[in-house]
């Protein structure tokens, strides 16, 4: 059997395990999030277990967590806009507020029917981003729910899909690279129109005859340190995320993803950085 197929078979078993764990820990959207824009374009369903965001020519929609967090593991299951999703952007991310904000992004850039989504990741620290990596999914993200995870601790940020690591951004403050570590962040999600840039650099526009576009969310879990009047440790007291890194199996998985499915890495974009690649690009293979 081809090595990539062996990896993939193992990943499928992990998906089942991860889905069960995430379901067991899932929060209730009524209790844990606030709708931030879109009014009736955002709907909480099934007693708070499910949520849909919709976009039409009049409005997109979005929500944020009621709580702020400083480090943790954040899981969300998403099923993305099906069929012709060109011009649309679905998001799941962490962000602080104000000038010099920190942010950790999953953004899903839609495409015309039959073409794959782009999974766009980025990290901002003290208001500065420009650390994009993009991937093609190795599955259809529109036909079933998949679990998207951000692990954020003082040493590193890990992006995972179905518990498969796709990216690591390490803390290289000692080398002068800003790292998000002191500003509490909320969880955000949104569905909005970005047809000026999202699909093939803006060449493919949103087809409003296909509206409304709808993305579905479920099984949100923040196993994280809450910040507020009464700061708390992570809700289930399982803080494995606080030192989480990549073991040998994780390094094999991220190598598989980055070799076969990465389509853009800022650390390889010499034309964008004529004065030399960013410092962190010289430090770690798995940025």
How confident is the model over 171-186, as a mean pLDDT?
97
In this model, does residue 241 exceed pLDDT 90? Answer: yes
**Which pLDDT value is given to residue 235?**
55
Residue 7, pLDDT score: 44
pLDDT tops 70 at residue 232: no
- The two three-digit tokens of residue 41, written as one number: 């374009």
Beta strands 146-152 and 156-161: pairing type?
Answer: antiparallel
Q: Is the pLDDT of residue 17 over 90?
A: no
Among candidate residues 199, 223, 229, the one with its CA nearest the CA of residue 213: 199
pLDDT score, position 283: 85
Cβ 27 vs Cβ 221: under 8 Å = yes
27 confidence band (pLDDT: 50, 70, 90)? confident
- The pTM score is 0.90
DSSP letter at 128 equals: B
CB 197, CB 107: distance < 8 Å: no
Q: Which pLDDT score is estimated for 236?
A: 53
pLDDT level of residue 95 (50, 70, 90 thresholds): very high
CA contacts within 13 A on the Cβ side of 93: 22
**Of 103, 132, 235, 280, which one is the catalytic site residue?**
103
Q: Is 103 in the active site?
A: yes
DSSP code string of 197-262: TTTGGGTS---GGGPPEEEEEEEEEEEEEEESSS----TTS--GGGG----HHHHHHHHHHHHHTE
Q: Is 280 a catalytic residue?
A: no
How remote is the C-alpha of 23 from its chain's centroid? Answer: 18
- Residue 266: is its pLDDT beyond 80? yes
- pLDDT value of residue 26: 62
Per the residue annotation, which of 107, 132, 173, 280 is the catalytic one? Answer: 107
Nearest-angstrom CA–CA distance, 278 and 235:
37
Q: Does the pLDDT of residue 21 top 90, yes or no?
A: no
**H or E element that contains 23:** helix 3-25
Q: Per-residue pLDDT tens for 52-92?
A: 999 999 999 999 999 999 999 999 999 999 999 999 999 99
pLDDT of residue 197: 85
Side by side, which strands form the sheet with 133-135? 33-37, 61-65, 186-193, 88-95, 103-109, 118-124, 133-135, 262-265
Predicted confidence at residue 20, as pLDDT, reads 36
Q: Which runs of E-coded beta strand occur in the chain?
A: 33-37, 42-45, 50-55, 61-65, 68-79, 88-95, 103-109, 118-124, 133-135, 146-152, 156-161, 164-170, 186-193, 213-227, 262-265
User: Tens of pLDDT along 148-167?
Assistant: 999 999 999 999 999 999 99
Parallel/antiparallel/unpaired status of strands 146-152 and 68-79: antiparallel
**What residues pair up with 50 in beta bridges, in sequence order?**
45, 218
* Structure confidence by residue, pLDDT tens digits, 186-208: 999 999 999 998 888 888 899 99
Residue 260 has pLDDT above 70, yes or no: yes
CB neighbours of residue 229 within 10 Å: 4
**pLDDT value at position 3?**
46
Across the chain, mean pLDDT equals 90
Mean pLDDT on 90-106: 97
Q: Is the pLDDT of residue 111 over 90?
A: yes
How many other C-beta atoms are found inside a 10 Å radius of the C-beta of residue 241?
Answer: 20
Quick check: 48 pLDDT over 90? Answer: yes
Residue 162 to residues 76, 141, 240, 243, Cα–Cα distance (Å): 10, 11, 17, 20
Q: Does pLDDT of 9 surpass 60?
A: no
């Amino acid at each position: 059997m081809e090595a990539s197929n062996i990896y993939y078979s193992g990943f499928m078993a992990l998906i089942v395990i991860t889905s069960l764990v995430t379901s067991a820990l899932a929060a209730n959207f009524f209790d844990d999030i606030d709708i931030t824009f879109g009014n009736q374009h955002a709907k909480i369903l099934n007693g708070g277990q499910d949520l849909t965001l919709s976009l039409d020519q009049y409005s997109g929609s979005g929500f944020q967590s009621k709580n702020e967090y400083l480090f943790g593991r954040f899981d969300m299951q998403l099923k993305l806009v099906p069929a012709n999703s060109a011009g649309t952007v679905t998001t799941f991310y962490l962000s602080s507020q104000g000038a010099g904000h920190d942010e950790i992004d999953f953004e899903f850039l839609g495409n015309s029917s039959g073409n794959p989504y782009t999974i766009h990741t980025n990290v901002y620290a003290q208001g500065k981003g420009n650390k994009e990596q993009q991937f093609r999914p190795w599955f259809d993200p529109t036909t079933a729910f998949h679990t998207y995870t951000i692990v954020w601790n003082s040493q590193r940020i890990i992006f995972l899909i179905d518990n498969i690591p796709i990216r690591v951004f390490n803390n290289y403050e000692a080398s002068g690279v800003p790292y998000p570590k002191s500003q509490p962040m909320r969880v955000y999600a949104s569905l909005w129109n970005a047809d000026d840039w999202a699909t093939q650099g803006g060449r493919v526009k949103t087809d409003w005859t296909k509206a409304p576009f709808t993305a579905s969310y479920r099984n949100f879990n923040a196993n994280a340190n809450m910040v507020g009047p009464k700061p708390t440790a992570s809700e289930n007291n399982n803080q494995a995320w606080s030192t989480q890194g990549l073991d040998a199996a994780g390094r094999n998985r991220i190598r598989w993803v980055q070799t076969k499915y990465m389509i853009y890495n800022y650390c390889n974009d010499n034309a964008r950085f004529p004065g030399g690649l960013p410092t962190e690009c010289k430090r770690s293979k798995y940025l």
